């Protein structure tokens, strides 16, 4: 494609298309990139520039782009039944098969699935479920939900409320009542003088302190991501999750593991809770469930919650027109089959995960890099003006944005969350592609350092 088409599309985009999470006045001035082709870990824009998709698009294209098997499965389902709903005593074959498959790959005790159309809807579903769980047992006062600062749980009213993103709370009068936020386990940024292990225990005990403050008899659930993704890939100190699990198992509170990013192989386990050894009652999932080929999410329901909903009976007044859409379910089923047949979970755990971790963590020697961390295929590097003191930049996000722009120019999609650079490539990435990705990341850090010198920031 040539430039005139790019310019024409950009103008139309600017004229009519409001983008998510964007300053829609500024966006046309910067100029959007129009992605026109994608294959494996590579994407191309309408000017023919190639990029490594180091973010699996939005943490979701786990099996890589452009897989014909999914196109075929989707086309076949379209020819059978394009859509019929799941309300009023009807079901469809792909939804049934997918529910069975999810029960098979999930940890023991997860035998039930409720479908949604994405992560935010999964969160809203779990949010209503945990409150209903207690109300059904005659305990409606167990209503309060605890989540964490700088968590991301989606963009719907419940999702944004549960999330700990202040700029989201500021728009639309959030959070809704009955939610509180405790500290996140972000040692590099917030650990002060504590060692990572000490800080992990301290952050976990924030949960116990909040439960005591509010009263256990008022609390429905704790929601948390195994590793916070959108918050900047916050990998908790190793002491954190065992202590949280200990606190939860001593108390009568449901635990919802938000697996929207960590689920479906990202950490070299099917679900992130398995990586950290936690025992959730519900898992909210989406993204990697279909690797983004079509929108679908699922709440995986553990025995404790299922026993109440199935045991007591009564209608749960919740669901969406497109819950269990047959074509989306067919795409998800084929996606999971691919993850299984190509042994992508094991590949991340035993081979490409450790390989990339070794290359990625070597970036820690760069003068701008505070530390370099990776688990499975999700990693981050905080950029810092002062490595030893874990120093922060005067204006949060300025340096991250400079780095992100250099990264794009160099042909790598690497995101900036504030001044943390984050990476989460498809699980199919090869060793050669990892080498290329990390080479570009290093070159990008050098380019960033040069720009910062020119601007007098270092």
**Distances in whole angstroms, Cα of residue 70 to Cα of each of 55, 74, 113, 143, 337:** 20, 6, 22, 41, 10
Q: How far is the CB of 156 from ligand PXG (least distance, A)?
A: 7
Question: What does the DSSP assignment read for 107-162?
Answer: PTTEEEEEEESSHHHHHHHHHHHHHHHHHHTT-TT--EEEEETT----SSHHHHHH
What x/- string results for residues 138 through 157 when contact with ligand PXG is judged by CB under 6 A? Answer: --------------xxx---
Nearer to ligand PXG, 46 or 116 (CB): 116
Q: How far is the CB of 4 from ligand PXG (least distance, A)?
A: 31
Rounded-to-integer distance, Cα 198 and Cα 1, Å: 55
Q: Are 57 and 36 in contact (CB under 8 A)?
A: no
Q: Report how far Cα 269 is from the mean position of its chain's Cα atoms.
A: 15
Nearer to ligand PXG, 124 or 206 (CB): 124
Rounded-to-integer distance, Cα 169 and Cα 160, Å: 7
Nearer to ligand PXG, 120 or 132 (CB): 120
Is residue 260 involved in binding ligand PXG (CB under 6 A)?
A: yes
Tokens representing 1?
């494609």
Residue ranges of E strands in 389-457? 415-417, 420-423
Closest residue by beta carbon to ligand PXG: 119
Nearer to ligand PXG, 59 or 134 (CB): 59
Is residue 162 involved in binding ligand PXG (CB under 6 A)?
A: no
Is residue 261 involved in binding ligand PXG (CB under 6 A)?
A: yes
Strand order in the sheet with 42-45: 35-39, 42-45, 50-52
> How many residues bind to ligand PXG according to rule CB under 6 A?
16
Backbone CA torsion sign across 161, 55, 290, 257: negative
Rounded-to-integer distance, Cα 444 and Cα 52, Å: 13
Tokens representing 201?
């225990």
Binder of ligand PXG out of 120, 125, 239, 290 (CB under 6 A): 120
Q: How far is the CB of 154 from ligand PXG (least distance, A)?
A: 3
Q: Which 31-70 residues touch ligand PXG, going by CB under 6 A?
A: 58
Nearer to ligand PXG, 208 or 329 (CB): 329
**Distances in whole angstroms, Cα of residue 294 to Cα of each of 171, 333, 364:** 29, 11, 37
Nearer to ligand PXG, 70 or 416 (CB): 416
Nearer to ligand PXG, 202 or 275 (CB): 275
Q: How far is the CB of 123 from ligand PXG (least distance, A)?
A: 5
Is residue 434 involved in binding ligand PXG (CB under 6 A)?
A: no
What x/- string results for residues 207 through 246 when contact with ligand PXG is judged by CB under 6 A? Answer: ------------------x---xx----------------
Helix (H/G/I), strand (E/B), else coil: 412: strand
Nearer to ligand PXG, 425 or 449 (CB): 425
Tokens 């850090």 map to which residue?
A: 445
Q: Which 275-294 residues touch ligand PXG, going by CB under 6 A?
A: 286
Binding site for ligand PXG (CB under 6 A): 58, 118-120, 123, 152-154, 159, 225, 229-230, 258, 260-261, 286
């Amino acid at each position: 494609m040539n430039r005139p088409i790019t310019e024409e599309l950009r103008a139309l985009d600017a004229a009519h298309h409001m983008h998510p999470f964007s300053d829609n006045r500024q966006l046309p001035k910067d100029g959007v990139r129009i992605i026109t082709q994608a294959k494996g870990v590579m994407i191309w824009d309408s000017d023919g520039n190639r990029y490594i998709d180091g973010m699996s698009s939005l943490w979701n294209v786990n099996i890589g782009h452009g897989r014909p098997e999914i196109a075929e499965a989707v086309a076949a389902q379209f020819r059978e039944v394009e859509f019929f709903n799941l309300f009023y005593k009807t079901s469809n074959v792909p939804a049934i098969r997918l529910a069975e498959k999810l029960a098979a790959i999930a940890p023991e005790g997860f035998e039930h699935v409720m479908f949604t159309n994405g992560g935010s809807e999964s969160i809203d579903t779990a949010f209503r479920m945990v409150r209903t769980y207690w109300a059904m047992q005659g305990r409606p006062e167990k209503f309060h939900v605890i989540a964490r600062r700088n968590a991301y749980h989606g963009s719907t009213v419940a999702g944004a409320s549960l999330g700990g993103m202040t700029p989201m709370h500021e728009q639309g009068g959030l959070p809704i009542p009955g939610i509180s936020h405790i500290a996140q386990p972000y040692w590099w940024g917030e650990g002060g003088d504590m060692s990572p292990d000490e800080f992990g225990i301290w952050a976990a005990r924030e949960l116990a302190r909040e439960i005591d403050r509010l009263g256990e008899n008022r609390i429905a659930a704790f929601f948390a991501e195994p590793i916070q993704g959108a918050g900047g890939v916050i990998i908790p100190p190793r002491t954190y999750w065992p202590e949280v699990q200990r606190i939860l198992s001593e108390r009568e509170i449901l635990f919802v593991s938000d697996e929207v990013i960590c689920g479906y192989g990202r950490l070299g386990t099917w679900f992130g809770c398995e990586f950290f050894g936690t025992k959730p009652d519900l898992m909210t999932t989406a993204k990697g469930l279909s690797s983004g080929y079509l929108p679908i999410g699922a709440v995986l329901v553990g025995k404790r919650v299922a026993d109440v909903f199935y045991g007591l009976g009564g209608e749960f007044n919740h669901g969406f027109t497109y819950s269990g859409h047959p074509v989306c379910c067919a795409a998800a089923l084929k996606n999971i089959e691919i993850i299984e047949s190509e042994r992508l979970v094991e590949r991340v755990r035993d081979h490409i995960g450790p390989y990339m971790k070794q290359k990625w963590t070597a970036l820690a020697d760069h003068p701008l890099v505070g530390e370099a961390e990776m688990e499975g295929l999700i990693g981050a590097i905080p950029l810092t003006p002062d490595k030893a003191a874990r120093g922060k930049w005067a204006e949060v996000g300025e340096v991250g944005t400079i780095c992100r722009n250099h990264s794009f120019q160099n042909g790598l999609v690497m995101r900036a969350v504030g001044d943390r650079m984050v990476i989460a490539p498809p699980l199919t990435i090869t060793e050669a592609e990892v080498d290329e990705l990390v080479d570009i990341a290093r070159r990008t850090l050098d380019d960033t350092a040069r720009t910062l010198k020119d601007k007098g920031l270092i």
